[in-house]
Amino acid sequence: MEQTEKKIILSGIQPTGIFTLGNYIGAVRNWVNLQEDYRCLYMVANMHAITVRQEPAKLRQQTLSCFALIMACGVDPQKAPIFIQSHVHEHAELSWVLSCYTQFGELSRMTQFKDKSAKNASNINAGLFTYPSLMAADILLYQADLVPVGADQQQHLELSRDIANRFNGLYSPTFTVPEGYIPKAGARVMSLADPERKMSKSDPNPNGVISILDSADDIIRKFKRAVTDSDCCISFEHGSAGVKNLLTIYTVMTGKRMEEAEKEFAGQGYGSFKEAVGVAVAEALAPVREKHAALMNDKSYLEQCYTDGAKFASHLARKTLEKVYRKVGFVNTPRF
Ligand code: TRP
């Protein structure tokens, strides 16, 4: 069967803050392409989100919105099931077991833990510390071969591999050892206000960040204000960081080749260049925004989709968890 030969991909996104053009270009757009060639599973990582204090009503709303956005971007849940992490209790269960196979020293070395605890000195909770064990559980439950992650998650993925190898070595092969997946046409989207920095949900300057759900007017306005440092020319090779960023965004969103884009803008001023990029992004995102709004207005359909996703995921997850429980010596779980 062709199905079983396809490699398994798992990825997740936290439903916190706004969903940026950076998330779209760097992550979810690739998720859409991958669903044809791999067996993909995508997860809204709401359990990870509470390592930082969240407002409950907002977290609930953002979790649904994030789920709807993944679909609105073009992930088809029939091809690539999407689920909400807390709906599949095996994540919490495997996470506990794996935390007993993860060393304090390893977790202490995680740079994200060090950064986040420096930023949240008043809430350095145990979950923030053991977060990588939960992420390992997310991945290993599905025997994922490949995990598309950004640079900030590579250390966590490396630790997942170490945990998998350790467990497999202590018992017998139990987990597939996952590898990172770096998309061929990878693109890093930088802040429009400070093109030396990554476009991030937490950018202090709201003009630097495009939300997928921004109105067309807002998108165009922010692009018009984008920092380009008017020094040279509209060229990927010779332009400033800001020009490069805009050209990258333009080519990704329109599907045009770089040379084509450069030719199109040759001899134009920065003003019309920036506006053209803004218009292209606004146009490309319009259908995503509309689909998202339609899904958010159809809660019963959304519920059906996340219920189906959770059923599919938990069926796979249970198989792995049962294997793990047996190997570590837990008595068979009675059925009742
Ligand atoms: N930790 C990831 C992030 O903050 C999200 C995530 C959770 C994830 N579980 C995952 C990503 C499993 C890939 C695989 O971006």
Residue 116 is a catalytic residue: yes
Domain CATH code at residue 222: 1.10.240.10
Examine the domain organization and report whether 174 and 76 are in the same domain. Answer: yes
Q: How confident is the model at residue 184 (pLDDT cuts 50, 70, 90)?
A: low
- pLDDT averaged over every residue in the chain: 94
Cα of 210 vs centre of ligand 1, distance in Å, is 21
Examine the domain organization and report whether 166 and 219 are in the same domain. Answer: no
Phi-psi region of 85 (alpha: psi -120 to 50; beta: other; left: phi over 0): alpha
Examine the domain organization and report whether 164 and 282 are in the same domain. Answer: no
Catalytic, out of 116, 256, 291, 319: 116
Examine the domain organization and report whether 149 and 57 are in the same domain. Answer: yes
Q: Is residue 201 part of a domain?
A: no
Q: Ligand 1 pocket: which of 47, 110, 156 to mutate (most atoms <8 Å of CB)?
A: 156
Examine the domain organization and report whether 247 and 177 are in the same domain. Answer: no
Contact of 180 with 156, CB cutoff 8 Å: no
Give me the residues paired with residue 41 across strands: 10
Residue 327 is a catalytic residue: no
Examine the domain organization and report whether 312 and 259 are in the same domain. Answer: no
Q: Is residue 229 part of a domain?
A: yes
Nearest to 314 by CA among 32, 7, 129, 81: 81
- Identify residue 53 by its one-letter amino acid code: R
Whether the pLDDT of residue 3 is over 70: the answer is no
Q: How confident is the model at residue 335 (pLDDT cuts 50, 70, 90)?
A: confident
Q: Give residue-wise pLDDT tens across range 89-114.
A: 999 999 999 999 999 999 999 999 99
Q: Is residue 192 part of a domain?
A: no
Domain CATH code at residue 143: 3.40.50.620
Q: Is residue 100 part of a domain?
A: yes
CA 240 to chain centre: 28
Q: Is residue 212 part of a domain?
A: yes
Residue nearest to atom 4 of ligand 1 (CA): 14
Structural domain span for residue 109: 2-186+298-328
> Which are the contacts of 175, defined by CB distance < 8 A and separation ≥ 6?
140, 143, 164, 167, 168, 320
Evaluate: CB of 90 within 6 angstroms of ligand 1: no
Q: Give residue-wise pLDDT tens across range 149-170.
A: 888 899 999 999 999 999 999 9
Name the CA dihedral angle for 75, 144, 304, 25, rounded to a multiple of 10 degrees: -30
Q: Is residue 334 part of a domain?
A: no
Nearest to 12 by CA among 52, 51, 44: 44
Examine the domain organization and report whether 176 and 312 are in the same domain. Answer: yes
Q: Is residue 88 part of a domain?
A: yes
Examine the domain organization and report whether 38 and 107 are in the same domain. Answer: yes
Least confident of 38-52, 69-83, 180-194, 235-249: 180-194
How many distinct helices (H) and strands (E) make up the chain?
15, 5
Q: Which atom of ligand 1 is nearest to the CA of 150?
A: 15
pTM of the model: 0.93
CA 124 to chain centre: 24
Examine the domain organization and report whether 31 and 174 are in the same domain. Answer: yes
Q: How many CB atoms lie within 10 A of CB 119?
A: 11
Please identify which residue in the block is written with the tokens 């260049």.
273
pLDDT at 230: 67
Examine the domain organization and report whether 170 and 262 are in the same domain. Answer: no
Indicate the angle between helix axes 270-296 and 241-254, nearest 10 degrees: 50
Nearest to 278 by CA among 212, 326, 216, 187: 216
Cα of 12 vs centre of ligand 1, distance in Å, is 5
Contact of 82 with 122, CB cutoff 8 Å: no
Examine the domain organization and report whether 164 and 39 are in the same domain. Answer: yes
Domain count, the chain: 2
Q: Could you give the CA distance from residue 262 to residue 236 in angstroms, rounded to a whole number?
A: 8
Examine the domain organization and report whether 180 and 320 are in the same domain. Answer: yes
Cα of 154 vs centre of ligand 1, distance in Å, is 10
In the sheet where 82-84 sits, what is the strand order?
Answer: 82-84, 39-44, 8-13, 146-148, 179-181
Residue 201 is a catalytic residue: yes
Q: Give residue-wise pLDDT tens across range 216-230.
A: 999 999 999 999 876
Q: Is residue 76 part of a domain?
A: yes
SS3 string, 10-30, reads EEEECCCCCCEHHHHHHHHHH
